[in-house]
Amino acid sequence: MSLTARHRLNCLIAAILLGNVGAALANDEVAPPVIEADLLVVGGAESGCAAAVQAARMGVKRIVLVNDTNWVGGQFSSEALGAIDENRAHEYNGKVPIPRSGLFREVIDAMEDKNEELYGVRRPGNTRVITTCRPVIANEVFEALLQPYEASGQIQRFSNLRVKSVTVQDSRVKAVTFEPLAESATPLKVHAQLTIDASDWGDVIKLSGAPYDFGLDARSEYGEPRAQESPEPNTDVNPITWCMILVAQTEEALIPQPAGYDERDFLGQWKWIDDKFNFASRRLVDGKALKDRQQADIYLINNPQVDYPLDVFTADVAAALEAMEAGASKKQFVDLTPQQREIVFRDARLRTLQYLYFMQQKYPSFRTMAMSDEFGTADKLPPKPYVRESLRLKALHMIKEQEVVGAGAQSNYAQTMFADGVFSWQFELDFHPTARKWLSSEGAAGPWDATFRGQRKFGVGGTGLSIFPLRSFVPQEMDGLLGAQKNLGYTSIVSSSCRLHDQSMAAGQACGAVAAVSLLKDVSPREMWRDPQYLAEVWTGLLTQKDAAAVVIWPFNDVDPYDDGFVAIQQLAVRRLFPLAPHETSFRPDAPAEAEWVAEVVKHIQSQGYDCAVNAIMPTKTRREAAIALWKAIQSQPIPAYERQSPDDADGDGIADANDALPFTAGETSWK
């Protein structure tokens, strides 16, 4: 090992050990205080905040939200992903295939309001995504989202705490104990009836003993067309990225050469990424385009040059891990201790600083780019890395690639439109480079870049208009626990398409609704998908938002959540009361309510067991008015019970309910 590498190794180990002395002492000094809660939400990223707020809005009284930083909002804020990624069909065209909705719509509207105050325009980025927002502003928006419920006492929030242990009794999560990460924090134990794991790495799921997946899925496991034959290496996941925010200056703002800098790290396959690409692809504020305002350009740096694979580690990182524990460098990332993860995180941060130094040396335009000081960190980087893929909960249903691809075309509905769907999404099957490639004969001691493994690469196909099932929040073998954020019941391939800002918020909001119904109705989440009345409670919770945007559950592409007919249209659609073909993704609310169409819909509703007559809704001028009248006619009726063909196979199709994506529809696809 070279002197430079040995110096870096010693620094890594010393920093980690010193950084955890305070926490260790605090844990030894006093027993943690105990708080009783109805709902514990672990993780203050976008999904955790959404879950807590939705549960509060539905009437859960005692909610505890525990976060490992003092920033809230995850991708939007502490991970610095200020160029907002959201549902997308085939290309960046300034449009979304599903209307913005729910809490995502609320925070986006608030961020755009803030942009207008600051810059005079709602969307100042002039870049490939629709909306951009500085992370510090996003944090303020999430603080404001939580504030009314914190003020009322419904939500108690604790910051700078991480999961230490999980108490399990009779296969049920009973409590979670937290240890402090800052001097201002103190140890804490929370007893809760129900816990949502919205942490970055699924720490509650892991420590509870609930089964989970991590890394590649073999083709034989789920039958996915794009899966590899072998699940090796089992450490292969979508990489983390330590993003940075740069602000243009009038003078040079050069940083000193970071430790371990090697120009060759950035001369591999991604050397084509130049200053112009960085400036155009993820610009947060285009200061030069703003009229009558003096405003600097602001940029997010997030590209493959700073992607950080977790499959194998460099020699110095591996040595630091091995110095802590023999074999640690070969472990899956989620199986590392927090102290071991910190070794990896410090190297990922260093990689980003090295890249900035490289760009400043190579491009004059970068020499006047200064790192933003909005995060308040010593190195001016955000508190957290951008996490694309966590562990994946072994849930009642694992969503598979073949279930979410479009039925006949990518622009159509997905092959499988789950009966227990609770939110909708669409995106590419999209992996950033998951493999670390050595660029010289020095191997792990030399330069490297990030590369693709097999078919795990950018935009290899995409999903249809998909819906997410309630079952994929619920562990197969653990009660008192739900997964959220990216700790969900899907395969690695599907996770690559359901991980964006809006999707993570929708997952959290839907999970919060499931938790609320479970707590308020005293029913286990694992039973809710079987009973349409409980599903109806979840749907109503997501669709009934006072002075706020409801959630798009069924992905019609042309009905906005603020449309007068939105709730009625959604309530009918989630019950499958519109006769639809895979390509009929538009509802056309302003189209005439033709008598033939109304008669067909009424006949279909009657065939599902509802009492509904044509004369109860005619005459109506538009489809919107017809939907409102139809919903008014049946909304007080219970959802007709499904006549089970057998105790374990409701639809009698030979696929046991436990393995059936569509337990109430014969076959494996929603379309005939």
Q: What is the rounded CA–CA span in Å between residue 103 and residue 549?
A: 7
In a domain, 476, yes or no: no
Residue 52 lies in a domain: no
Same domain, 627 and 655: no
Mean pLDDT computed over every residue of the chain: 94
User: Are 53 and 78 in contact, with CB atoms under 8 Å apart?
Assistant: no
Better-scored residue on pLDDT, 167 or 25: 167
Alpha carbons 103 and 285: distance in angstroms, whole number: 24
Query: What is the Cα–Cα distance from 540 to 156, expressed in whole angstroms?
Result: 26
Torsion of CA 296, 350, 381, 68, to 10 degrees: 160
The amino acid occupying position 299 is Y
Contacts of 508 (CB under 8 A, 6+ apart): 46, 47, 48, 49, 50, 51, 54, 103, 196, 198, 484, 485
Q: pTM of whole model > 0.85?
A: yes
In a domain, 599, yes or no: yes
Domain count of the fold of the chain: 2
Residue 26 in any domain: the answer is: no
Cβ atoms of 507 and 485 closer than 8 Å: yes
Query: Which of the four pLDDT bands, split at 50, 70 and 90, describes residue 92?
Result: confident
Read off the tokens for 559.
């009905």
Exposed e or buried b for every residue in 316-340, given b needs 16+ CB within 10 A? bbbbbbebbeeebbeebbbebebbb
In a domain, 655, yes or no: yes
Q: Are residues 582 and 629 in the same domain?
A: yes
Angle at 596 between CA 594 and CA 642, to 5 degrees: 115
Do 648 and 629 fall into the same domain?
Answer: no
**For residue 595, what is the enclosing H or E element?**
helix 595-607
Angle made by CA atoms 547, 549, 550, in degrees to the nearest 5: 110
The model's pLDDT over 286-314, given as tens digits with 9 standing for 90+, comes to: 999 998 788 999 999 999 999 999 999 99
pLDDT per position as a tens digit, 614-628: 887 878 899 999 999
Q: What pLDDT shows up at residue 19?
A: 47
Angle ∠(500,242,110) on CA atoms, nearest 5? 45
Pairing of strands 307-308, 240-241: antiparallel
Q: What is the pLDDT of residues 127-176, one digit of tens each?
A: 999 999 999 999 999 999 999 999 999 999 999 999 999 999 999 999 99
pLDDT, tens digit (0-9, with 9 covering 90-100), for 422-458: 999 999 999 999 999 999 999 999 999 999 999 999 9
Note whether 462 and 412 are within 8 A (CB): no
627 and 651 together in one domain: no
Alpha helices in 249-337, H assignment, sequence order: 275-281, 315-324
Using CA atoms, how far residue 82 sits from 78, 148, 281, 386, in Å, is 10, 25, 12, 11
pLDDT on residue 10: 52
* Phi, psi at 125, each rounded to 5°: -75, -35
Interior CA angle at 479 toward 476 and 482, to 5°?
A: 75
Rounded to the nearest 5 percent, the helix, strand and coil shares of the chain are: 35, 15, 50
- The answer, yes or no, to whether residue 405 has pLDDT greater than 60, is yes
Residues 652, 629 share a domain = no
> Which of 90-94, 377-381, 596-600 is predicted most confidently?
377-381
Q: What is the pLDDT of residue 614?
A: 86
Same domain, 657 and 623: no
Which position has the token pair 């002075």?
547
Helical ranges in 58-196 per DSSP H: 102-119, 135-152
Kindly state whether residues 592 and 616 are assigned to the same domain: yes
What is the helix (H) or strand (E) element at residue 173, kind and residue range?
A: strand 172-180
Q: Is the peptide bond before 619 cis (omega within 30 degrees of 0)?
A: yes
Residues 649 and 629 in one domain: no
30 against 572, higher pLDDT: 572
Please give the pLDDT value at position 70: 97
**pLDDT given for residue 615 in this prediction:** 83
* Residue-level pLDDT at 3: 41
Domain range holding 671? Answer: 644-672
Nearest-angstrom CA–CA distance, 27 and 179:
7
63: three-class secondary structure by DSSP? strand
Residue with tokens 């995180």: 345
Max CA pair span of the chain: 86
627, part of any domain: yes
